[in-house]
Every structure is written in structure tokens, then in C-alpha cells.
Amino acid sequence: MIKSRFHPAPVAGVLATTIAVVLPGFLVGGLAVQIGQSFPLSPAQLGIAISVYFGVSALASVPAGRLVERYGSGPAARAAILLSAASLLAVGLLSRSALTLTLLLAAGAGANALGQIAGNVALARHVPPGRQGLSFGTKQAAIPLSTLLAGAAVPAVALTLGWRWAFVLAALLALSALPFAPSAPALATPRGAASGRATAGLFVVAVSATLAAGSANALGTFLVDATVARGVDPGPAGLALTLGGAVCVVARVLGGYLADRLPDRQLAVISGQLVVGAGGLALLTMGGNAVLIAGVVLGFGLGWAWPGLMNFAVVRLHPQSPAAATSVTQTGVYAGGCLGPLTLGFVATHFGYTTMWLTAASAMLTAALCMALGASLLRRARP
């Protein structure tokens, strides 16, 4: 049963855990240029490494949900932090080729799935209903913050001590989250309960998450290169990406705050957000700085602001099995992170960035329809 009294310590622990477990993937992306000076690492090889990382995270999500249900969020969160730190240390010390980098990164991908679901359960158990939306939004805002940390690691460490030291220090940073790991007891789901399993509604929401995450990931992956290809200088193009990351952080926190005021309609709200986000992606096919900024703000601010709201909604609909339920929908998010860059990168390479943005916008519109359908199915199945 969810506790009625609010304790800030578990929320802080969830944030620390989330940052620790997502660092490997983001740090590889942020330090790709410096890594490529030690051994060959082409953009295609980098894309494969990140896609494999998210693919393994997707495969690990459902088993991770079962582990959290069985052992509780505390042991799961600590195991995830240790695995993430080991992956960071191994990448920094042992990577000698694109292949070894990919394998070592994949070995730590399970930490992402395990830590995220452990955090979901801790928030579900420790945060009262009236503040859960804000807590889930803040948790998901920690992920784009990790991107900013990865970017800051370039001038702070990689250009002075070297990229390998950046991974070693990141491993120590991840380990510092251990004392703050959130804890919640193992979940006693009644035998045969289907509330957290892959029901039709959860499956449709997971499909929506795959399409939406794959489309939204194109912003972080291709925005700078696509903007430069249209004649914008690299500096302003990079600033556009920074603006998008900042907007994403604010939108996730603000969206969570507002969700507490309208808690039972969040999947429908997400559907509307995805429609507007698709419009932002379509704007990126047009010229002009004002249109670029509008597309970035709408794409990041609404098209990529929904993961916390989705977790919040799924937990509310499955209070007896939040780990199993969010593991199903989280699989969709990771699948989008895996398939999106590969698919849209192929489209961009062979048909150009205009076609790629239109493809991403179409996929996000389809995600909006799937989210609306999933919301309807889950409401009908709700006891």
C-alpha cells in the first residue's frame, strides 16, 4: 500500500540512481570524438554501439521488473549502480576497438533497465498520490540532465586528462549514489494477478512508446548534423540542441507537476502532446532560425516530455504491480531508442533529412493514435 506521508530522501535517491545508471550510454555519445582519437570509431559504428545498448536494455526490462518484484527496489537499485559503475570502468580501461566498446557498453545495459524500474517502484511506494506526477517527471528529467553532464565532461576532463579518465571518474560518481539508493519492499502480487502483465492496453502503450521514443531520439541524434547541412554554423546548431535539452528538462518537471492536478487522464494528455510534437518535427523541414527554434521547442518540449507521465499513469493503473507494468512499457521506450537511430539514419542517408523529419513526424502521429487507443483499453480493463 502506498504510504501517505511524503519523504524527500527516497526521491533524491531515485534521482541519484537514475543518473548513475544512464551515464554509460550518454557518456559514450558525448566523448565519441575523443574516443575516436584512440581507435577508429565511425558515426555508423557509434550508432550501432548506442543501438545495441538500448536493445539490450529493452530485452532486460521485463526480467528486471521480475527481479524488482521479488527482491525489492533497494537491492535492485544497488545492483544497478554497481553494474553501471563496472561498465563505465571497463569501457574506460579496456576499450581498444569499436567492437570491444560495444560489447562492454552492452554488458552494462541491464543496469539501465534495472535501475529505472527500481526507481519507479520506490516512487510508487514512498510518494503520496498527490505528488507522484511531479516525482516521476523529476525522475525522467534526470535523464536529459545526464546528457548535459556528458557534454560538460568534454572540456572538464576529456580535453585535459583524457577520455579514459572521464569514464573512471564517472564510475566513481556512479558509486557515490550507492548510499542514497532508494528502497522499497518486495512486491506481494497475488498469484495469477494480471494487473501488471502484458495486457492488450499495456502492449499498445508500449508500441506507442517505441514509435514516440524512436522519433524523439532523432532530435538528439541528428539535430546538429541536419541543421549544419542546411547551412547553419556548428555553434548555433549546437546551441539549438542545448536549448532543446533545457526545454526537455523543464517540460518533464512541469508536466509532472500538472499531472498531479489531472491524474486520471495522463495517457490522453500524452496523445495530445505527441500530436504537437509531431508538428515540431515537421517544422524542422523548413528554413529560418525562428522556425528552427519553434521546431526544437515543440519537438523537445512536448514530443519528448512524456516518459515520466507514462510511468505515472501506468503505476496509477497498476498499483499492485508497478514493476511488472512499467517494465512492459519501458521495453517500448528502449526499443525506440534502439530502432529509431538505425531506421531514421538509413532514411537520412538515402533520402535526405527532409524525408527523415517527415518520417519521424508521421511515426509520432501514429504513436499519438496508439497512445489514445491504449488509454481506452486500460481504462476498460481497470477494476
List, for residues 274-315, the tens digit of each pLDDT value: 999 999 999 999 877 888 889 988 988 888 889 988 988 888
Minimum mean pLDDT among 26-30, 58-62, 271-275, 330-334: which range? 26-30
Mind spelling out the 3-state secondary structure of the chain?
CCCCCCCHHHHHHHHHHHHHHHHHHHHHHHCHHHHCCCCCCCHHHHHHHHHHHHHHHHHHHHHHHHHHHHHCHHHHHHHHHHHHHHHHHHHHHHCCCHHHHHHHHHHCHHHHHHHHHHHHHHHHHHCCHHHHHHHHHHHHHHHHHHHHHHHHHHHHHHCCCCHHHHHHHHHHHHHCCHHHCCCCCCCCCCCCCCCCCCCHHHHHHHHHHHHHHHHHHHHHHHHHHHHHHCCCCHHHHHHHHHHHHHHHHHHHHHHHHHHCCCHHHHHHHHHHHHHHHHHHHHHCCCCCHHHHHHHHHHHHHCCCCCHHHHHHHHHHHCCCCHHHHHHHHHHHHHHHHHHHHHHHHHHHHHHCHHHHHHHHHHHHHHHHHHHHHHHHHHHHHCC
Cβ atoms of residues 212 and 299 within 8 Å: no
CATH of domain 1-183: 1.20.1250.20
Which sequence spans correspond to the domains of the chain? 1-183, 197-383
* Cα gap 209→291, rounded to integer Å: 26
Q: What is the pLDDT, as a whole number, of residue 382? A: 65
Q: Decide whether 1-183 matches 197-383 in CATH topology.
A: yes
**pLDDT score recorded for residue 231:** 80
Question: What CATH topology corresponds to 197-383?
Answer: Growth Hormone; Chain: A; (1.20.1250)
What is the model's pLDDT at position 349? Answer: 82
111 pLDDT more than 70:
yes
Tell whether the model's pLDDT for residue 195 goes beyond 80: no
| Average pLDDT, rounded, for the chain | 84
